[in-house]
A and B are shown apart, each in its own frame.
Chain A
């Protein structure tokens, strides 16, 4: 009775594994460098 559900589960995870790793790796490669610090700017003085 649960066999179709188990087959669906296996197929879902095969697809998800490929999709999620692709997104994760693409996200890692797309990482932007953070905004460089501006030495002339001192937030403290605006508080």
Chain B
């Protein structure tokens, strides 16, 4: 027995995606080397290639890092997410080529092994201007290699999604290492402010997008998906288990309200009852509660906990934290549902 392995599940969309990527990179590298040789006529082809490959990899890493938060902020960016791992692997290949050319140019002609030379030739860790920035790039490349090597579904299935996801969150560490690699490396000897400006803009865009998307997710986190509107029959409830309690979510007159499923009389299942005369009615003994407040209509004094609700598209979300019994909660109106 063996696990079925398929290198890439090619389809037309993936081919178009990769075609655009390859063409874009070819144009970028061609322009970089062409324009670079005009602006810096003394620069060697290897130097231009090292810089071209390095900037292409860094640019692509910014694109890769922007796709995730963009998709969380606006679903129209989802097509970009479809084949993101090919962008990631391509970015690693560019970074690897940049690394190999750099090691060859700066470390291959001495007595030491080039990799040893990379790590020991500069040990001025106390200086910002002369920091051994190449080591930072090397460690970032190791992380990118680990991610590229495990990017296939084979590893996703075998490592399990939580482990795989945590492993691939190392890209954030790689990104920080690369920001340091460029800030303490190329930026130190670059006289044009263009590189510094582009790095600053890229850093700001990536950071802002991630924090904005994380902030929105954090606000949503208080609410959990409970059921769909279609799951709830009119004037009846869908019972869900939430935060260790059973909650009855009622649909009535185009509105949604959620209250505790437990009747105060004899713990009857309110969610199995229905709304009669505007009140949730317990199927066991007919005790009644107003769905918006969880309180029995006067002169009765029984009260049950209420829950905040929201509607996204067809999805009903509830805040798992129960409100004190009898707390008024504005029902969610189905027509006012927020688009997904």
Docked pose: A27 CA to B105 CA in angstroms: 24
Docked pose: A5 CA to B213 CA in angstroms: 13
A10 lies within 8 A of B214 (CB): yes
A19 lies within 8 A of B176 (CB): yes
A14 lies within 8 A of B211 (CB): yes
Selected from A5, A12, A23, the residue in CB contact (under 8 A) with B184 is A23
Known: A20-B203, A30-B128. A12 touches B169 (CB 8 A): yes
- The chain A residue with its CB closest to the CB of B200 is A24
- The chain A residue with its CB closest to the CB of B136 is A23
The 0/1 profile, CB within 8 Å of A marked 1, for residues 164-189 of chain B is 01000100100110011001100111
- The chain B residue with its CB closest to the CB of A28 is B196
Known: A5-B165, A7-B221. A16 touches B214 (CB 8 A): no
* Chain A CB within 10 Å, residue with most, of B162, B184, B214: B214
- CB of B210 closer than 8 Å to a CB of A: yes
Q: Do most interface residues of chain A lie in helix, strand or loop, or is the interface mixed?
A: helix
* Chain B CB within 10 Å, residue with most, of A7, A12, A20: A20
- CB of B37 closer than 8 Å to a CB of A: no
Query: A-B pairs with CB below 8 Å: how many?
Result: 77
B183 lies within 8 A of A24 (CB): yes
Q: How many residues of B contact A (CB 8 A)?
A: 29
Q: Which residues of A sit under 8 angstroms from B12, Cβ to Cβ?
A: none
- CB of A17 closer than 8 Å to a CB of B: yes
- CB of A42 closer than 8 Å to a CB of B: no
- CB of B158 closer than 8 Å to a CB of A: no
A27 lies within 8 A of B210 (CB): no
Selected from A6, A23, A26, the residue in CB contact (under 8 A) with B214 is A6
Whole-angstrom distance between the Cβ of A32 and the nearest chain B Cβ? 5
- Interfacial residues of chain A within 1-47, with CB under 8 A of chain B in the complex: 3, 5-10, 12-14, 16-17, 19-21, 23-24, 26-32, 34, 43
Selected from A3, A13, A24, the residue in CB contact (under 8 A) with B179 is A24
A27 lies within 8 A of B221 (CB): no
**Chain A interface (Cβ within 8 Å of chain B)?**
3, 5-10, 12-14, 16-17, 19-21, 23-24, 26-32, 34, 43
Query: What are 13 A-B interface contacts by the 8 Å CB criterion?
Result: A7-B218, A9-B214, A10-B218, A12-B169, A16-B207, A17-B207, A20-B180, A20-B207, A27-B183, A28-B187, A30-B128, A30-B129, A31-B129
